[in-house]
Structure 1
Amino acid sequence: MRECIIETQDLVHTYPTGVTALKGVNLKIYKNDKISIVGQNGSGKTTIVRHFNGLLKPTSGRVLLFGEDTTKQKIGQMARKVGYVFQNPNHQIFCTTVRDELEAAPKNFGFSEEETKKAVDEVVELMNIQSVLNTHPLTLDYTTKKIVSIASVLAYKPDVLILDEPTGGLDEPGRVMLTKIIDMMIENGHTIIMISHDMDYVAENSDRIIVMCQGEVVDDGSPEKIFLNAEVLRKAQIEPPQITQLDLYLENGYPKEAILSVSDFIKKYKNI
């Protein structure tokens, strides 16, 4: 039986402005899930994930993190379990060197000097950022800043990693590295939650997609299921990946299964 590690129960969140961003959301996230949460701006994506580590508190309803109500946990406790990589790395970086940035969280969470060094050495090797360790992170190009912001969270190995628009501003090598990181985390038993408008990336790097619209979950399932559900996509104002759209056109909108990658498309049509 799969272990449920995050659960929302009738979750409502109303901001001080009076805007209700979440309208009674019920959702379960399981250990080792590789999830993308999709939807238009204002659909509630960022609002819901910020409840998972205590950045936001419910207006009503409950959020359970590893079975315990988040309102009864300290933010530091939850941050150790749920790492959050912000969409804009400039909102996350605060140290004067990359090395200090990578060491900050492990030290804050009580890692020993030896444990901190080992953790930092591992992410530096993984993400190939040896050459910038003594550089001020805010002077780096956008892709490298994004990689550093991800590395600073990976350094303490949270059980759950939330990535907010991780492909935004990344070049192709950066996207390849991101995929490598996601796959590595999943292989090691962690849980990935990605918020994204990049449907091409979502299709190839998710096992489960949660579709949100106007503060509600309107669909939840595999990429193959989601990207063939025209009614839900229309409601949420989401377009399938480009390669899926091409396949839909060639099949007159009625394919037997969703094509989600170029390699799948080639396999399907190479003999036609």
Structure 2
Amino acid sequence: MAELPLQEELDPRLQTQLAQLRECLHQLGAVVVAYSGGVDSSLVAAIAVEQLGDAALAVTGVSPALAPHLRREARWQAQWLGIRHQEVATRELHVADYANNPPERCRACKATLHRHLAHLEPVASGAQVVDGVNQDDLGDHRPGIAAARQHGVRSPLVDSGIGKLQVRQLSRALGLPWWDKPAQPCLSSRFPYGEPITAKGLERVAAAEAWLLACGYQQVRVRSQGTTARIEIPAAAIADFLSHVDRCQLVAHFRNLGFTAVGLDLEGLVSGKLNRSLVT
């Protein structure tokens, strides 16, 4: 397969990392990419199909925790890349260690996903499962990474020393149009640990965030705390939000979804904020 042409010059370190990523995936021979449509897994999928052609398959786990617009974007991105793409229904809500929402929830989620992937025909035929975990992910509370390792999943970005910034730099240089796509953790991350995860709750959060996205705010989180919604947007966007969003319409829409109160987090959007409760 022809390599993706560079749209801009890379510094020597990025050139080396890209070469290592290409070699890593090429050496695997056949892969199944655990593919969410995020920037990280999309870069892995792009290089996988570049190096392996039809021996690369992208698989997206589908459940109420995946926002509908992200499912659509994942489909479109896979089509744009020309990689084979398959969706598998996961049922993590039926797993108590997930639905009860303990701090190790992500471990149960990833274990469920990789049990599904293990039954795919390509994996049975020797394809290696790979994910989009990058070097910077290793420094946060990520129990899902341990679950993936237990199932033999490889992380080519980590193997190539590539972190979050490098993922975006490489994606831009390779002409991937979603290189600046905001990070979008699964919807279960909107619930404080200990608050049960339900399909109804996930759908309510998805609908609330979709309303805000339609208002033009591309980086949003609606944290669900009981029946209270706490909106997070980047701190730099708060003044604009307060000036331009119709407060009455927002409150009415959120109440129609089942929330009884709506607040705005004045600190702004901070990734992994709920993990603060784990610090003792």
**Taking structure 2 as the reference length, what is the TM-score of the superposition?**
0.27
Higher relative contact order (CA 8 A, sep 6+): 1
Structure 1 or 2: larger strand share?
Answer: 1
Structure 1 or 2: larger helix share?
Answer: 2
**Taking structure 1 as the reference length, what is the TM-score of the superposition?**
0.28
